[in-house]
């Protein structure tokens, strides 16, 4: 599979808490404040051969974006949100679906059968893991780890900090280790390291070395995190039984591959006109 083909299986939407106040909303063109929940329409940037986010205020997203294919499993980063925010979005996803159904009959028969949001036992499991991850992330923030501290802990577990990764990515990674355990080396190529991938909803081999490796597994074999003597003496994770959970849970449709990304997803975003009406984006 070429890198370009791979991009076509990427998720069409994204969500996070704004990392800076620099991004401008693609609908109203106002800046999105730092820390605010924001949603994006993602499209492949051919220049960089990776996905690019077109960020929108949460309120503007619902107003302006064509949202077919929107579900809990098609929003990149959904599982990293606070549970209350996940719940708020689930409600809106269901409302959105009702509106689409009113407008037109859905034509994608195979995708239609997958529930858009989780419910029942799966949802309960997602809630438990989401609240555990949030709690651990808060603890890690209070510990005020520096990059070199993460580096030390990761190395003790045969991991490393990847290029472009900062404190927030390290917190994300370490919480995953604490809650679910540390994935063993890739069973396929024997040397790659497995990292959680929001798009595939699975742990993927980073394929180090000359050959790239396509191994991925939603719940690979894991061992408990080795905290290191120094940190253990400082009381880090004291009294916690690791790993906290046996498995990571996933929403419905998380492992269905869809060609949801087109070359021009920008046509998903409608722009306001001067008269407050929508025009289809002609760009
Ligand atoms: Zn906006
Ligand atoms: Zn591998």
Does the pLDDT value for residue 282 go beyond 50?
no
The Cα–Cα gap between 137 and 68 comes to 33
Per-residue pLDDT tens digits for 23-75: 999 999 999 999 999 999 998 877 767 888 999 999 999 999 888 789 999 99
Total of domains in the chain: 2
Q: Which ligand is nearest to the CA of 25?
A: 1
* CATH number assigned to the domain comprising residue 133: 3.90.640
Per-residue pLDDT tens digits for 85-123: 999 999 999 998 887 776 655 555 445 678 999 999 999
By the 8 A CB rule, do 271 and 279 touch? yes
CA of 79 from ligand 1 middle (Å) equals 23
What pLDDT score was predicted for residue 155?
94
The band of 256, judged by pLDDT with boundaries at 50, 70 and 90, is confident
Per-residue pLDDT tens digits for 141-189: 998 999 999 999 999 999 999 988 999 999 999 999 999 999 999 999 9
Q: Which ligand is nearest to the CA of 220?
A: 2
* CATH number assigned to the domain comprising residue 37: 3.30.1740.10
CA of 65 from ligand 1 middle (Å) equals 11
Same domain, 98 and 133: no
255 belongs to a structural domain = no
Q: Which residues surround ligand 1, an ion (CB under 5 A)?
A: 25, 27-28, 57, 60
Same domain, 149 and 211: yes
Same domain, 111 and 46: yes
Same domain, 10 and 95: yes
Percent of the chain's residues with pLDDT above 90: 62
Parallel, antiparallel, or unpaired for β 202-205 and 216-217? antiparallel
Q: Which ligand is nearest to the CA of 24?
A: 1
Write out the residue range of the structural domain in which residue 168 sits: 123-233
């Amino acid at each position: 599979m070429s890198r370009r083909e791979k991009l076509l299986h990427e998720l069409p939407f994204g969500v996070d808490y704004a990392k800076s106040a620099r991004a401008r909303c693609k609908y109203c063109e106002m800046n999105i404040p730092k820390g605010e929940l924001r949603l994006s329409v993602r499209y492949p940037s051919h220049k960089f051969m990776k996905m690019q986010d077109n960020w929108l205020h949460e309120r503007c997203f619902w107003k302006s974006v064509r949202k077919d294919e929107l579900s809990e499993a098609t929003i990149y980063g959904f599982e990293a949100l606070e549970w209350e925010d996940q719940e708020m979005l689930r409600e809106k996803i269901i409302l959105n679906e009702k509106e689409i159904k009113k407008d037109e009959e859905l034509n994608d028969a195979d995708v239609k059968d997958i529930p858009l949001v989780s419910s029942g036992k799966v949802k309960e499991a997602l809630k438990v893991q989401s609240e555990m991850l949030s709690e651990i992330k808060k603890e890690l923030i209070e510990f005020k780890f520096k990059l070199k501290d993460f580096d030390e802990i990761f190395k003790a577990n045969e991991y490393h900090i990847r290029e472009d990764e900062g404190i927030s990515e390290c917190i994300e990674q370490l919480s995953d280790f604490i809650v679910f355990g540390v994935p063993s080396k890739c069973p396929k190529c024997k040397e790659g390291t497995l990292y959680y991938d929001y798009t595939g909803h699975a742990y993927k081999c980073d394929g180090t070395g000359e050959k790239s490796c396509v191994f991925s597994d939603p719940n690979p074999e894991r061992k408990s995190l080795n905290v290191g003597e120094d940190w253990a003496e400082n009381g880090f994770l004291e009294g916690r039984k690791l790993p906290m959970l046996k498995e990571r849970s996933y929403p419905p449709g998380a492992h269905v591959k869809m060609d949801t990304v087109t070359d021009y997803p920008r046509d998903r975003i409608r722009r306001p006109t001067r008269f407050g009406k929508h025009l289809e984006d002609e760009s």
